[in-house]
Amino acid sequence: MPVSKKARPQSTRTPRERVRVLITGARIQKRIQALAREIRKDFPGEPLHLISVLKGGVFFLTDLARSIPGEVSFDFIAVSSYGQKTHSSGQVRLTRDLDSSIEGKTVIVVEDILDTGMTLRYLLRLFQQRKPKHLRVAVLLDKPERRIAAVRADYVGFSIPNEFVVGYGLDYAERYRNLPYVGILVLGPGLKKKPAED
């Protein structure tokens, strides 16, 4: 009697996620060096105070700070705009304030990405009330198609299409921040809708 072969169970695995490189690490570093020269040219010899928006802006802040000659200090702030939701609520909440006063300082707000602009509008209003000498904005990525609030950055690394990006500080469910490049996240079928960036 022939031995019957066991039927192989059909795989139920679906391709989950993949990241397609959008901006290489080398291009990012080259552009950051150019932004650093531009910022220092605008404020020659002046102490600069960089403020990073946690968590995504940390990579950009550290590389930018190391590229700017002269006196540079920095601080961190954290806000929440959509909590556990997969889309921006439009409501921005301060979750970690600055450690020191910015009154009389030349402040550069350092953001990973400018998307809807709701977070940046909130931060600029907050910081203007604290009377800095100058207030400027540097963003690594600008996604103008998604803009809701009427805000703009003074220094822009790259203008990008309306795609969900990860890497170089940007995350999806707290993953991918450590990638040395910026990539477009491609989700497999059946996965949850991509969360909104802000």
As a three-state string, the secondary structure of the chain is CCCCCCCCCCCCCCCCEEEEEEECHHHHHHHHHHHHHHHHHHCCCCCEEEEEEECCCHHHHHHHHHHCCCCEEEEEEEEECCCCCCCCCCCCEEEECCCCCCCCCEEEEEEEEECCCHHHHHHHHHHHCCCCCEEEEEEEEECHHHCCCCCCCCEEEEECCCCCEEECCECECCECCCCCCEEEEEECCCCCCCCCCC
Between β-strands 48-54 and 106-114, what pairing exists: parallel, antiparallel or unpaired? parallel
What crossing angle do the helices spanning 25-42 and 58-67 adopt, rounded to 10°?
60
User: What are the pLDDT digits (tens) for 23-65?
Assistant: 999 999 999 999 999 999 999 999 999 999 999 999 999 999 9
Place of tokens 């600069």: 48
**Structure tokens, 35:** 């932004």
Please state the separation of Cα 87 from the chain's center in Å: 16
Quote the CA–CA distance of 121 and 143 in Å, as a whole number.
Answer: 15
- Supply the pLDDT for residue 11: 39
Tokens representing residue 183 in the block: 């990539």
Distance CA 198, CA 187 (A): 19
Residue 115: active-site member: yes
* pTM across the whole model: 0.84
> How confident is the model at residue 92, as a pLDDT?
84
How many beta carbons lie within 10 A of that of residue 106, not counting itself?
18
Q: Point out the residues of the chain with pLDDT beneath 50.
A: 7, 9-14, 83-88, 193, 196
Q: What is the pLDDT of residue 28?
A: 98
Q: Measured between alpha carbons, how far is 187 from 39 in angstroms, rounded to an integer? A: 37
Report the pLDDT value the prediction gives residue 16, as an integer from 0 to 100: 81
- Per-residue pLDDT at 198: 57
Peptide bond into 143 cis (omega under 30): no
Q: Count of residues for the chain?
A: 198
Q: Determine which one of 115, 142, 171, 198 is catalytic.
A: 115
